[in-house]
Amino acid sequence: MALVGVMRPGHAQIRVLDLEEGIHFYRDVLGLVETGRDTQGRVYFKCWDERDHNSLIIRQADRAGIDFFAFKVLDKATLDKLDADLRAYGLKTERIPAGDLLETGERVRFEIPSGHLIELYADKTCVGNGLDMVNPRPWNANSERGIAPIRFDHGLLYGPNIAAVQKIFTEVLGFFLVERVLTPDGKGNVAIWLSCSHKVHDIAFVEHAEPGKLHHCSFLLESWEEVLRAGDIMSMNKVPIDIGPTRHGITRGCTIYAWDPSGNRFETYMGGYQPYPDYQTLTWTFDELGPGLDYPQRKLHETFLTVVS
């Protein structure tokens, strides 16, 4: 599938309560590669197999959560067009100058009805994955430290008015609705999974009264065995686990959910089917949300539904 317009999730900036604790966790336990620190006190990371300079940024704050979630677009012309399209749709946009984030070009920022700040950008310095461009090896030393995911995969955000959010993503940004969970009365959606690519989702939203909440950032692993290994590493480091290892009915992904030291949930994930834009949206009724979340146990987990940052 030719990728045009919005191509993929690019980065998320999250808040941690103790910066040094957060650095240790994301670098040494999750196994991300630290790529820089800026004068604002932010620390930058990428997954070992990512080419661009950063995909996760952390900063210290008095409460956990997410500052913004960003997508990379094809080029500068696409960025300008989407900025104009968003404004024509009625959204206020802000141009963040190049260099505000390390090694990152100009960004277009806008707030969606769920209370989240979304960004688009076209340029970020390519630092490579440490492998040769000719006759590359399949892995390097960075792939062996900690859990070592290969990429930042997606995010799940909680907030109000996801019906309006869906319209922005599908009508303006070119995403398509892959799966949904109906409200108890069957008249609306309580959760939506959206894709701009060949992935089962690039971002997802759940209806929630409080705006701007983070449910999780997800990091991709290559196999079920690596998910199980991630569980071992979490236990060795006394990382509190929410759910898993298990398999979702929704998306078919295999997963472990856990919390960083500040209470931000993260996911180690693999699998999922590969949809195309012409596929019909898969629908889950509210009474079957249990197997949608945890297919083997067919149960809802209270913390998964209620704990956000």
d(CA 67, CA 82): 21
Question: Mean pLDDT throughout 11-23?
Answer: 98
Question: Mean pLDDT throughout 63-75?
Answer: 98
Options 11, 116, 215, 248, the catalytic residue: 248
Q: How confident is the model at residue 82 (pLDDT cuts 50, 70, 90)?
A: very high
| pLDDT > 70: percent of the chain | 99
User: Strand, helix or coil at 28?
Assistant: helix
Does the pLDDT value for residue 59 go beyond 60?
yes
Options 154, 179, 207, 226, the catalytic residue: 154
Active site residue 267: yes
Question: Mean pLDDT throughout 213-227?
Answer: 97
Question: Mean pLDDT throughout 79-106?
Answer: 97
Looking at the DSSP bridge assignments, the partners of residue 8 are: 72
Options 201, 208, 226, 269, the catalytic residue: 201
Active site residue 158: no
What pLDDT sits at residue 300? Answer: 85
CA angle, residues 26, 60, 108, in degrees to nearest 5:
90
Active site residue 257: yes
Name the pTM for this structure.
Answer: 0.96
Active site residue 116: no
Options 26, 44, 158, 257, the catalytic residue: 257
Domain 151-306 CATH assignment equals 3.40.50.720? no
Dihedral, 9, 115, 280, 181 alpha carbons, nearest 10: 120
pLDDT in tens, 142-164: 888 999 999 999 999 999 999 99
Active site residue 208: no
Question: Mean pLDDT throughout 81-110?
Answer: 97
User: Strand, helix or coil at 189?
Assistant: strand
Q: How confident is the model at residue 179 (pLDDT cuts 50, 70, 90)?
A: very high
Which is higher by pLDDT, 139 or 178?
178
d(CA 90, CA 9): 23
Options 11, 116, 215, 216, the catalytic residue: 216
What pLDDT sits at residue 98? Answer: 97
What pLDDT sits at residue 185? Answer: 94
pLDDT in tens, 271-306: 999 999 999 999 999 999 888 999 888 988 889 889
φ and ψ at 186, to 5 degrees? 75, 10
d(CA 266, CA 150): 15
Q: How confident is the model at residue 188 (pLDDT cuts 50, 70, 90)?
A: very high
Specify whether the CB–CB gap between 221 and 268 falls below 8 A.
yes
The Cα diameter of the chain in Å comes to 56
Give ranges for CATH 3.10.180.10 in the chain. Answer: 6-126, 151-306
Please identify, in words, the CATH class of the domain defined by 6-126.
Answer: alpha beta
pLDDT in tens, 237-258: 999 999 989 999 999 999 999 9
What pLDDT sits at residue 1? Answer: 56
Options 26, 215, 267, 269, the catalytic residue: 267
Active site residue 216: yes
